[in-house]
């Protein structure tokens, strides 16, 4: 029995397949890197700061709600608006003191309410 000799067509198909795999891998790596180096300002450091502030009074039980708020903000809110709302909330807290309920702008209030309803357990059903 003799070994099959690859034809030019076979080599071309194999090379094309390898190129596709390399391109797909590079594309995937580029997406991951781009996501981690977000140009819009939603960086891992901003995420960590947000989560620390969001869970400060409620602790670990509110972490899923805070993560939901973060995820929705990243997908639906331009970073400049996020910074503006953050500055407003920081100013309110400086003026009123810690622990006083803050006025959340309507566009973020919708996000917060949606996340609370989606993630927080319903007290009537969790007995």
pLDDT (tens digit per residue) in 7-33: 666 655 444 433 433 443 343 333 344
Q: Judge whether 112 and 58 are in contact, CB under 8 Å.
A: no
Tokens of residue 43, six digits: 């960086």
**Residue 40 to residue 37: CA distance in whole angstroms:** 9
Q: Which residue bears the tokens 């973020």?
A: 108
Query: Of 105, 114, 107, 123, which Cα lies nearest the Cα of 61?
Result: 123
**Tens digit of pLDDT at every position of the chain (127 positions):** 566 666 666 655 444 433 433 443 343 333 344 444 456 899 999 999 999 989 988 889 999 999 999 999 999 999 999 999 999 999 998 999 877 888 999 999 999 999 999 987 666 655 5
User: How buried is 86 (Cβ within 10 angstroms: 0-12 exposed, 13-18 middle, 19+ buried)?
Assistant: middle
């Amino acid at each position: 029995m003799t070994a099959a000799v690859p034809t030019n067509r076979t080599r071309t198909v194999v090379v094309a397949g390898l190129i596709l795999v390399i391109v797909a891998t590079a594309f995937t790596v580029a997406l991951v890197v781009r996501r981690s180096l977000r140009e819009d300002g939603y960086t891992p450091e901003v995420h960590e700061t947000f989560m620390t502030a969001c869970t400060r009074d409620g602790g670990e039980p509110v972490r899923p709600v805070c993560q939901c708020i973060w995820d929705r903000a990243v997908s639906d809110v331009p970073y400049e608006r996020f910074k503006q709302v953050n500055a407003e909330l920081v100013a309110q807290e400086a003026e009123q003191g810690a622990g006083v309920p803050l006025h959340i702008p309507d566009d973020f209030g919708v996000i917060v309410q949606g996340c609370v309803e989606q993630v927080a357990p319903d007290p009537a059903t969790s007995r």
